[in-house]
Chain A
């Protein structure tokens, strides 16, 4: 699983790529959380190049969103393809984390 972080005007942007399956979550979870939560600022995640999210991946995303929430910082995701969106909708993840189409929309959601 590929993972990159940048700062976009006070918003942490994470770009994920590949399969967020049980194996890769174990490898990336600590780094993912460590690059987002301690900054206590809004964060967006680019899912454009993610091909699959397993339940442990969902847990990583929910855990990060809830940790940021405790710092009053928002968290959103964008760019999910149809297959990943089906997983997100089945788990009703959108009830917990806003999932939008574009980066601009995601930035607008977390900075509103």
Chain B
């Protein structure tokens, strides 16, 4: 995430002289970048914009310098747009004049979203403690993800932006043996702590290669074993989709299998097409006793493969249309952008296309480039 997308807090909170139990009107960032950061709305209100002297500075190109004003009228909040270029939205409806901002409503400004919370100091303290715990959990999950690899026959980069504090996506890649390179992506249905815990459990087994009686070089065997180990009834009704592959560098051949997961996209160096690389198997955990199938594809020199979660393309665009995989394919085939990595290009492309506010699902994308 670039620095320009971060929030700079000029006024985090106006300290008010409150007795215990008094409630505070807060605006809490709920998007992926600074999720949980809270701003207290005092008697003078809060001005939101891209530059100081706004009280909340959102460094986002879609935010105007002086974008909107949130005021405290009696015991209720109201918001008015200050003539911004891209508008201010409350629960998806563009603000005209001054409109109420009820408790629980989402204020959307550019790519950023803030929710109106009405909390006691005790609740804020408890929420802050929970946020700190979630941040630690999020940091742990990030620590399990592999670093970008810039050497060898397959070079990988990735971006992982959970839509909540904890996501349900996980992925990994690395050497599996001489000339063999493994890559996979897991997408647990939903997000939050339970989805993240299942994703971590599966990822840990794959990292340690501890699947019982399983040849890790065989995608079909790996998925069959995972399906045996992670049936929904035993996992609090959670299931996951998955894409798993093993690349043999000497033969330039990729073995792969999907479990309820959309295909990865193989793109030749001339970017003339995006070849779907996936097959049909059931979701992991949804049906016991299934034998999974795998397929192979030859990898032309200089190709790239894009492996991603459904949150990458299942968005609603600014015209209200639901995207499909074909829309993301078109974005993938667009030319590279100078001084911007491929994963960042695609993340920004999707964010630009999507309706304002946080993405609905986790955004996980791995791009592997072959020699």
Contacts and interface: CB of A to CB of B under 8 A. Distances in A.
Interface string B343-371: 00000000000000000110000000000
A55 B262 CA distance: 12
B42 interface: no
A92 interface: yes
B245 interface: no
A59 B281 CA distance: 16
Say what secondary structure dominates the interface of chain B: loop
Interface string B222-258: 0000000000110001110100000000000000000
B322 A63 contact: no
Q: Max chain B CB contacts within 10 Å: which of A21, A55, A93, A96?
A: A55
B189 A55 contact: yes
Contact of B360 (A21, A59, A90, A92): A21
A62 B262 contact: no
User: What's the interface size class on A, roughly?
Assistant: 20 to 34
Contacts of A56: 189-190
Q: Max chain A CB contacts within 10 Å: which of B261, B282, B286, B325?
A: B286
A52 B322 contact: yes
Contacts of A19: 322
Question: Which 4 interchain pairs have the tightest Cβ spacing?
Answer: A55-B189, A91-B260, A59-B189, A92-B282
Interface of B: 187, 189-191, 232-233, 237-239, 241, 260-262, 280-283, 286-287, 290, 310, 314, 322, 324-325, 360-361
Interface of A: 19, 21-23, 51-52, 54-56, 58-59, 62-63, 66, 83, 86, 89-93, 95-96
